[in-house]
Amino acid sequence: MLIHSSGLSKVKDSVTEKIFFGNEPSAELIAILTVYFVQGILGLARLAVSFFLKDELSLSPVQVSALLGIVALPWIIKPIFGFISDGLPIFGYRRRPYLVLSGILGAVSWVSLATIVHDRWAATIAIALGSLSVAVSDVIVDSLVVERARVESQADAGSLQSLCWGASALGGLITAYFSGLLLEHFTTRTVFWVTATFPLIVSCVAWLIAESPVSKDTSEHTENLSIKHQLAQLRQAITQKRIWLPTAFVFIWQATPTADAAFFFFTTNELHFEPEFLGRVRLVTSFAALIGVWIFQRFLKSVPFRIIFGWSTVISAVLGMTMLLLVTHTNRALGIDDHWFSLGDSLILTVMGQIAYMPVLVLAARLCPPGVEASLFALLMSVSNLAGMVAYEFGAILMHWLGITESNFDSLWLLVLITNLSTLLPLPFLNWLPADDSQPQSELIPNLMSGLMLKEAESETVE
């Protein structure tokens, strides 16, 4: 009987180890994973926000694109939240109170969208507050992961980050299809009410974080010195040519204009795609993104940056031109239904887009010198997010110049052509990227996974 119990215990331990990737299960670990899961599951309101802006507030594609750029601001200043959390404890705690506040802020933003928001300015503020909520919680939970990762053995390096990214991806996959299905049966404001409950989960699990209060008398001077030292190291790092030149390339590469907002209006107003089908497209693209990550890790992770950026840029531009077939209805002449063409096109473009984005994360991680890895990585990702905001604003300007509205898509083919050709603009600057590729891939996994979660959380704010 004792042998049987011992064997059963070993089986349970083995299963637990597999589930948690070798991490010791605890209330704090559950809390951390829950925060990442909630970040993924907030995608439930992604399509609802898009339809709310289009149908209920009657915004034009230009206005929606401009709004998308503005609400990304919290992700651009994300490193500031880290310094605030480290330097300004609340009631002696650096992590737990900020998680509680971020959850409350997120709930307030979604409740506002469900009740009192009736114009574009109120919508911009409410959605920006929701974005701020996710950005703050992401900063806090990332810091908790970093603190845990410091005590990981070499054999388990990156296991916690992989587990956290998996929790976020799972939340995104669960809500991908339901984000559209719910809109078939409920109003957008009802979806906002449902979404408002999830940030409160973050506030609740925050109390499970094991954190000791900070003694002001013993730590304030040390903390100030640490922050000053960190800022000095950051200043020294960003003035180095080997860091700011690749960063400038990534900014140019990602700041080219986007036609996403116009294309959303085209698929809903012109092609009459239903929310349920758009949810199906989201589910397909979510799996496609994972396929892109796998392809990169399996076949392309050792390819030099200049080669993979160069070829992925050219291939993405060529594949992006397939959108012209849908815009001009040429696919119908070829006997391909709009729905099937859109699904296939989204699948291919998402796989290629994820493959193209992965080197950005790897490059950002490799540029970080010892001592300021986390801070500089967050700063580099903020530059990437700033480029995304610029891309939306450039897209809005182009839509305005071309006269694209919620009912006029005569020049959409030209917008698609311009946005795809503009992606080739960074090619002359490929020599700004490092020529060699010397750092082992295994050392990059923690930062890589953190960057993936950041990008996913940002993209779930609005479509």
Task: Measure the CA–CA gap between 450 and 202, rounded to whole angstroms.
Answer: 19
Predicted structure pTM score: 0.81
Q: What is 23-459's CATH number?
A: 1.20.1250.20
Sorted by sequence, the CB contacts under 8 Å of residue 149 that are 6+ apart come out as 157, 158, 160, 161, 446
Q: What is the pLDDT along the chain (463 residues), one digit of tens a residue?
A: 444 555 545 444 544 444 454 566 778 888 888 998 998 899 899 899 999 999 999 999 999 999 988 898 898 888 888 778 777 788 878 888 999 999 999 999 999 999 999 999 999 999 999 999 999 998 888 777 766 665 554 444 456 666 777 788 788 888 888 899 899 899 999 999 999 999 999 999 988 887 777 665 555 555 555 566 667 777 777 778 888 888 899 899 999 999 999 999 999 999 999 999 999 998 898 888 888 878 887 888 778 888 888 998 999 899 999 999 999 999 999 999 999 999 998 888 888 888 888 777 777 767 766 656 666 777 887 888 899 899 999 999 999 999 999 999 999 999 999 999 999 999 999 999 887 654 444 444 444 444 444 444 344 444 4
CA pair distance 364, 379, nearest whole angstrom:
9
Instruction: Quickly list DSSP for 437-454.
Output: --S-GGGGHHHHHHHHHH
Q: Residues near 128 by Cβ (< 8 Å), separated by ≥ 6?
A: 70, 71, 73, 74
Q: Is 24 helix (H, G, I), strand (E, B) or coil?
A: coil
Three-state DSSP state, 23: coil
Annotated domain spans of the chain? 23-459
Burial of 405 (0-12, 13-18, 19+ CB in 10 A): middle
